[in-house]
Amino acid sequence: MDFNFSDDQEQLRDAVRKWVDKGYDFERRRAIVKAGGFDRGIYGQLAELGLAGLYIAEEHGGMGMGPVEAMVVMEELGRGIVMEPLAQTLIASGVLSGYANDDLKSAWLPRIASGEALVVLAHQERKARYRLDLCEAKASPAGNGWSVTGDKSIVPAGDQVDAFLVPATVDGKIALFLVERSAQGVNARGYVTQDGSRAAEVKFQSAPAALVTKDGLTALEHAVDIGIAATCAEAVGALDKTMALTAEYMNTRKQFGVTLSTFQALRHRMADMKMQLELARSMSYYATLKLNAPTEERRRAMGRAKYQLGVSMRFIGQQSVQMHGGIGVTDEYAGSHYFKKLTQLEMTFGDTLHHLGEVSARMQDTAGVFA
């Protein structure tokens, strides 16, 4: 057992952190929110760093790295509350690498790795909430390929991306398809979300599609688990920064002639926040290190991890705002944007009650990290 990062991983962290500090300061981010919550140029810069190809094999132009490297990168992006959806790229590259045929891989993976193509998961449907097995979109054979019909919601950067991974049923069973945004019958209506980033409602009307796999639910669960691990890591970065901002504020803001950090009520609160942060970090490691485990074990781990992260994000986010007093509820202050990001991350790929349900449903007589 070893929870240390290798030199290469530390270098990767440094590179991403430097980029965030220089290329994605708060003013830059604010400008991107104002301009609609997504900046293809910024995404291009992430790709230039090699991050879009992180999960993609070298033969397809990627870096051939694994979950730990992905975690390191996502932590740093979370620290800067970067909105461009790299987690989605990890999902798309993971799913295409694992489930698509060679033609599809060769057609898409190199373009994803270079940043030329951005592919995101479009799975959310009106009645499904966080469940993955509910799907009303339908697919049927059309010519040499397939066509997909259905509505998908809150698709990350959905009106800006190049293609979608779309679950749709064939004979009542979920299959997974790739649909290009420029294809006929695809309509995307974009908007910003609570954290300032971009999403869209996407309608598919007999849109031409390529089949990724007929075992769509397995692939979708895997996709979401990659997303959960990435989200946990992103959250840890955002939590880390939230704690740092709060500690700095406690040490500078004076009331009653002393800094807030002298009040025991607030000191104990900081201790509780630190507890939640380290529980969250531990569970983020756990999620990452279980990402390649057998399905059942992997799914159980993701539920546990996302539950803990949800608890931590809500507690630290709320307490941080509270301890800042009035400043904490202003748009001008960066901390409030971390709070909104944490709230959004909690509701991404299943909220805390949903994952409590997952843990509960998968619970066995004994429990532990290795079970």
Partner 1 sequence: MDLAFTPEEQKFREEIRAWVRDNLPQEISHKVHNALHLTRDDMQRWAKILGKKGWLGYGWPKEFGGPGWTAVQKHLFEEECALAGAPRIVPFGPVMVAPVIMTFGNAEQHKRFLPGIASGEVWWSQGYSEPGSGSDLASLKTRAERKGDKYIVNGQKTWTTLAQYGDWIFCLVRTSTEGKPQTGISFLLIDMKSPGVTVRPIIMLDGGHEVNEVFFDNVEVPAENLIGEENKGWTYAKHLLSHERTNIADVNRAKRELERLKRIAKSEGVYADPRFRDEVARLEVDVVALEMMVLRVLSAEKSGKNPLDIAGLLKIKGSEIQQRYTELMMLAAGPYALPFIKEAMEAGWQGEHVGAAYVAPLAATYFNYRKTTIYGGSSEVQRTIVAQTVLG
Ligand X SMILES: Cc1cc2nc3c(=O)[nH]c(=O)nc-3n(C[C@H](O)[C@H](O)[C@H](O)COP(=O)(O)OP(=O)(O)OC[C@H]3O[C@@H](n4cnc5c(N)ncnc54)[C@H](O)[C@@H]3O)c2cc1C
Q: For partner 1, which residue of 153, 169, 206, 282 counts as binding (CB under 8 A)?
A: 153
State which amino acid sits at residue 218.
T
Site string for partner 1, 70-109 (x = CB under 8 A): ----------------------------------------
Determine if 353 is a binding residue for ligand X (CB under 6 A): no
Quick check: 153 and 182 in contact, CB under 8 A?
no
Quick check: 202 and 250 in contact, CB under 8 A?
no
Site string for partner 1, 312-351 (x = CB under 8 A): ------x--xx--xx-xxxxx---xx-xx--xx--xx--x
Alpha-carbon gap, residue 62 to 8, rounded angstroms: 16
Using alpha carbons, list the distances in angstroms from residue 301 to 226, 286, 292, 363: 12, 7, 11, 11
Determine if 245 is a binding residue for ligand X (CB under 6 A): no
| Token representation of residue 322 | 């509270």
Q: Which partner from the list ligand X, partner 1, none does 189 bind, CB cut-off 5 to 8 Å by kind?
A: partner 1
Alpha-carbon gap, residue 361 to 27, rounded angstroms: 44
| Dihedral angle sign, alpha carbons of residues 313, 316, 319, 322 | negative
**Backbone φ and ψ of 187, nearest 5°:** -135, 125
Determine if 27 is a binding residue for partner 1 (CB under 8 A): no
Report the DSSP pairing between strands 163-170 and 173-180.
antiparallel
Determine if 26 is a binding residue for partner 1 (CB under 8 A): no
Stretch binding ligand X (CB under 6 A), from 106-114, 127-135, 287-295, 323-331? 323-331
Report the DSSP pairing between strands 119-121 and 145-156.
unpaired
**Backbone φ and ψ of 369, nearest 5°:** -60, -35
Q: Which residues contact 342 (CB under 8 A, 6 or more apart)?
A: 235, 238, 239, 242, 313, 314, 316, 317
Q: Least Å distance between CB 365 and ligand X?
A: 44
Within 262-291, the residues that bind partner 1 by CB under 8 A are 263, 265-266
Q: Least Å distance between CB 1 and partner 1?
A: 34
Q: Total residues contacting ligand X (rule CB under 6 A)?
A: 12
Quick check: 250 and 268 in contact, CB under 8 A?
no
Q: Least Å distance between CB 329 and ligand X?
A: 5
Determine if 370 is a binding residue for ligand X (CB under 6 A): no
Q: For partner 1, which residue of 15, 104, 107, 154 counts as binding (CB under 8 A)?
A: 154
Q: Which partner from the list partner 1, ligand X, none does 101 bind, CB cut-off 5 to 8 Å by kind?
A: none
Determine if 132 is a binding residue for partner 1 (CB under 8 A): no
Report the DSSP pairing between strands 119-121 and 163-170.
parallel
- Report which residue's Cβ sits closest to ligand X: 325
The candidate with the shortest Cα–Cα distance to 107, out of 187, 215, 180, 158, is 180
Q: Least Å distance between CB 116 and ligand X?
A: 46
Within 119-138, the residues that bind ligand X by CB under 6 A are none
The candidate with the shortest Cα–Cα distance to 119, out of 215, 52, 42, is 52
Alpha-carbon gap, residue 147 to 119, rounded angstroms: 18
Q: Is 59 exposed, middle or buried (0-12, 13-18, 19+ CB in 10 A)?
A: exposed
Q: For ligand X, which residue of 103, 144, 257, 265 counts as binding (CB under 6 A)?
A: 265
Q: Least Å distance between CB 250 and ligand X?
A: 8
Choose between 241 and 290: whose C-beta lies nearer to partner 1. Answer: 241
Site string for partner 1, 198-227 (x = CB under 8 A): -x-x--------------------------
Q: Which residues bind ligand X (CB under 6 A)?
A: 253, 255-256, 260, 263, 265-266, 322-323, 325-326, 329
Q: Which residues bind partner 1 (CB under 8 A)?
A: 124, 126-127, 129-130, 153-154, 189, 191-194, 196, 199, 201, 254-257, 263, 265-266, 318, 321-322, 325-326, 328-332, 336-337, 339-340, 343-344, 347-348, 351, 353, 356-357
